[in-house]
Structure 1
Amino acid sequence: MKNYFLLLIVFLSITSCQKAKKELPDAQELLRKELHTIDWTKVDSYPTFEACDSLKDTEENKKCFFEKLFTELTLQLKNDSLLQTLPIKEIDTLNILVTVYPDAHIKFSLSKKDSLPLNTEIDRILQAKESTFKGIHPATKRGVPVKTQFVLPVFLK
């Protein structure tokens, strides 16, 4: 009886070890599956100003960023003496392409859909305004800072 019991234990231990052995998944296959599950068109957190950092809700933070950026840029462009001298009196709105880079600097340029007669002059004015926007934190995707772009309409009148 002892021999049968010992033989049963040996048999169970051999078969249980084979079931416990599992194949490791292929790293490339896991990476491919993970890359297909990521939505590359959306970010986890939007760019933000330091003044908006205290807001915990993502939507409130996004709203704060866009309101502050719109207000500051509109005010600066309305008060810009060089822009006032340009013959663009018939233009009431500028569509500005805003790019926030992962290293936290911002770039302004006219949206390509705007075909204004003085594009280069307006672009120079916008580039001069870039240095006044400090304290911006870039958007993040899975904890990594990423580049974001959006078009911001600025009303001049």
Structure 2
Amino acid sequence: MKQICVFLSVLMLCSCEYFNVKKTSSEAILKEELQTFNWNDVDAYPSFSECDSVETKTDKKSCFENVLTLHIWEFLQREKIVVTKDVSDTIILSFRVSETGDLKLSNAKIDSVTRREIPEIEKLLYKSLEQLPPVFPATKRGQQVKTEFQLPIIIDIQ
């Protein structure tokens, strides 16, 4: 009988731990949630009004890049660019779209030959962006977020 009482006493003392409720603070929940975020991906990419009819996320991204590329290409076609040598180059443009939809050119990787032949190329690129239609910013979990991306532009002047 004594053994049963000792066993029950030990069992009661150990079982009290099962009823302890772990309290979590809102900061701990937020910290855990932020660790599960994929910060390199957005729910919806930046967009133009022409891309509203597109359904999938990847198609919207392609539409945005195509509209932007076409706009820059058409702008450069309208400009009278005179060169002494043929220029065939791929320019890598780095863009930043703010939370409010402001699209800015942050960097342009241009070959030295292209810079020499078209010294005003960066000014032309900035000028082409001033005439863009309104940009809708990217969203992440319902919030508008800033995004950065790169876009190749092919320059072929003869």
CA contact (8 A) 2:96 2:146 kept: yes
Identity %, equivalent residues:
29
Q: CA, structure 1 residues 85+108, in 2 after alignment: closer, same or farther (shift >3 Å)?
A: farther
What SS is found at the alignment partner of 1:25?
Answer: coil
Q: What pairs with 1:50-65 in structure 2 (closer than 5 Å)? A: 50-65=49-64
Correspondence for 2:91 among 80, 86, 94: 94
Q: CA, structure 1 residues 48+87, in 2 after alignment: closer, same or farther (shift >3 Å)?
A: farther
Report the Cα offset of residue 97 of structure 1: 1.3
Report the Cα offset of residue 88 of structure 1: 7.2
Report the Cα offset of residue 100 of structure 1: 1.4
Aligned partner of 1:154 in structure 2 is 153
Aligned partner of 1:4 in structure 2 is none
One-letter amino acid of the structure 1 residue matched with residue 33 of structure 2: E
Aligned partner of 2:104 in structure 1 is 107
Give distance in 2, aligned partners of 1:78 and 1:137.
26
Runs of 4+ in structure 1 displaced over 6 angstroms?
Answer: none
Report the Cα offset of residue 92 of structure 1: 2.3
Which consecutive residues of structure 1, in runs of 5 or more, have no partner in the other structure?
1-18
Cα RMSD after superposing both structures: 2.4
Report the Cα offset of residue 111 of structure 1: 2.9
1:88-137 deviations in whole A, cap 9, x for unaligned?
Answer: 7434221111221111111125435x453459732222211122112210
Report the Cα offset of residue 30 of structure 1: 0.8
Give distance in 2, aligned partners of 1:48 and 1:54.
11
TM-score by length of 2: 0.72
Which consecutive residues of structure 2, in runs of 5 or more, have no partner in the other structure?
1-18
Aligned partner of 1:45 in structure 2 is 44
